């Protein structure tokens, strides 16, 4: 199969993803996964970039998924990163899961948010207000999605808008508004820094998964571990058979993943202990109800809430009459 045929086959698979019901996402938290993947891919510049999730545009409940401020911005110093290369001082990011529409109306909504941001008359990063305090040339808008929005790109081309693949998986959009816009297709990104984004696609590459596990070995920083955990949750859900095979083939990978998820494991252990304690207290409460002890006395002894004690009493006695 040549490269053109392979790419066509991949685009058809992506198109099928687009036509899938959003219900297929189940409990996947794509926004957290993409946020985590993006920030890990920008790790080289973490001291330069300041990010905020769910940045409020104004007093109304409208939010942009992520705002990233380039604290060292001077207009010329471009970052050596395919996503961040377009960044200006103020960078607004919209995250879209592969089953969520990224259509022309979504793009225009993002542009309207950028316009509201620019037109607010106040730059909270320098604590100053005034006319054109945030020049539009200092604002960029990014849409990040694992799969390619084929229908959107076709509509844009038919509408005369420019689409340039500046880097693999990074498409610059021109002619639609006076703002720098890019659409990032996670599955097409190249380079080790984008492994945290690429492994969130279906049919992730073995090499990418192994590279990510190696990347997270020995992580100590809690925030970075949380980011890695969010990425892993999406990746494992989308590629369960791959992980089952790799874990069976490579015991070292199992150890690395266990270390990453140790905090979650400890949390689950704690929750299990609490559940066991609660179950034991309810068992004692049942025995005391059978002995017709007053509910207040049972509450003081077991800490089982009064409402729950009333439920237990009703179940055991088959009546709504309870003793207070």
Q: Residues 34-38: what's their mean pLDDT? A: 86
Phi, psi of 125 (to 5 degrees): -80, -25
Q: Pairing state of beta strands 90-96 and 63-70?
A: antiparallel
Predicted pLDDT at 69: 94
pLDDT digits (tens, 9 = 90+) for 221-234: 778 888 888 888 88
> How many CB atoms lie under 10 A from the CB of residue 30?
20
Q: Residues 31-55: what's their mean pLDDT? A: 82
Are the C-beta atoms of 73 and 134 separated by less than 8 Å?
Answer: no
pLDDT tier at 176, thresholds 50, 70, 90: very high
Phi, psi of 130 (to 5 degrees): 150, 170
250 or 133: whose pLDDT is higher? 133
Q: Residues 146-163: what's their mean pLDDT? A: 95
What separation, in Å, do the N-terminal and C-terminal C-alpha atoms of the chain show? Answer: 77
pLDDT at 191 over 90: yes
Predicted pLDDT at 136: 95
Least confident of 55-69, 154-168, 231-245: 55-69
Q: Residues 251-263: what's their mean pLDDT? A: 65
Give the per-residue SS3 of 57-118: CCCCCCEEEEEEEECCCCCCCCCCCCCHHHCCCEEEEEEECCCCCCCHHHHHHHHHHHHHHH
Compute the distance between CA of residue 171 and CA of residue 153 in angstroms, rounded to an integer.
10
Report the candidate in 212, 216, 205, 217 with the shortest Cα–Cα distance to residue 242: 205
Predicted pLDDT at 260: 62
Report the candidate in 199, 151, 190 with the shortest Cα–Cα distance to residue 170: 190
Predicted pLDDT at 20: 39
pLDDT at 10 over 90: no
Q: What is the mean pLDDT of the chain?
A: 81
Predicted pLDDT at 301: 82
pLDDT tier at 242, thresholds 50, 70, 90: confident
Entry pTM: 0.68
pLDDT at 15 over 80: no
pLDDT at 82 over 90: yes
Compute the distance between CA of residue 216 and CA of residue 259 in angstroms, rounded to an integer.
9
Predicted pLDDT at 302: 85
pLDDT tier at 16, thresholds 50, 70, 90: very low
Report the candidate in 290, 311, 288 with the shortest Cα–Cα distance to residue 300: 288
pLDDT at 61 over 50: no
pLDDT at 105 over 80: yes
């Amino acid at each position: 199969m040549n490269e053109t045929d392979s790419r066509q086959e991949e685009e058809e698979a992506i198109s099928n993803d687009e036509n899938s019901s959003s219900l297929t996402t189940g409990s996947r938290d794509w926004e957290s996964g993409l946020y985590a993947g993006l920030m890990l891919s920008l790790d080289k510049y973490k001291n330069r970039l300041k990010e905020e999730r769910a940045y409020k545009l104004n007093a109304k409940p409208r939010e942009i998924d992520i705002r990233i401020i380039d604290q060292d911005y001077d207009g010329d110093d471009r970052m050596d990163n395919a996503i961040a290369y377009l960044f200006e001082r103020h960078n607004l990011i919209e995250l879209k899961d592969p089953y969520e529409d990224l259509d022309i109306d979504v793009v225009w909504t993002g542009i309207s948010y950028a316009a509201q941001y620019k037109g607010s008359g106040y730059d909270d990063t320098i604590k100053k207000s005034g006319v054109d305090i945030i020049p539009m040339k200092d604002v960029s808008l990014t849409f990040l999605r694992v799969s390619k929005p084929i229908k959107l790109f076709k509509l844009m081309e038919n509408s005369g808008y420019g689409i340039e693949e500046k880097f693999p998986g990074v498409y610059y959009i021109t002619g639609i508004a006076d703002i720098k816009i890019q659409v990032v297709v996670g599955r097409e990104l190249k380079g080790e820094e984008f492994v945290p984004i690429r492994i969130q696609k279906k049919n992730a590459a073995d090499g990418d998964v192994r590279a990510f596990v190696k990347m997270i070995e020995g992580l100590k920083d809690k925030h970075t571990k949380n980011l890695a955990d969010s990425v892993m949750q999406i990746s494992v859900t989308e590629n369960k058979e791959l992980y089952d095979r790799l874990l069976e083939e490579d015991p070292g990978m199992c150890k690395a993943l266990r270390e990453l998820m140790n905090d979650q494991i400890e949390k689950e252990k704690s929750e299990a202990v609490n559940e066991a304690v609660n179950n034991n207290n309810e068992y004692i409460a049942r025995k005391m109800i059978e002995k017709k002890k007053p509910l207040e006395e049972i509450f003081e002894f077991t800490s089982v809430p009064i409402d729950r004690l009333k439920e237990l009493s009703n179940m055991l006695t088959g009546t709504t009459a309870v003793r207070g």
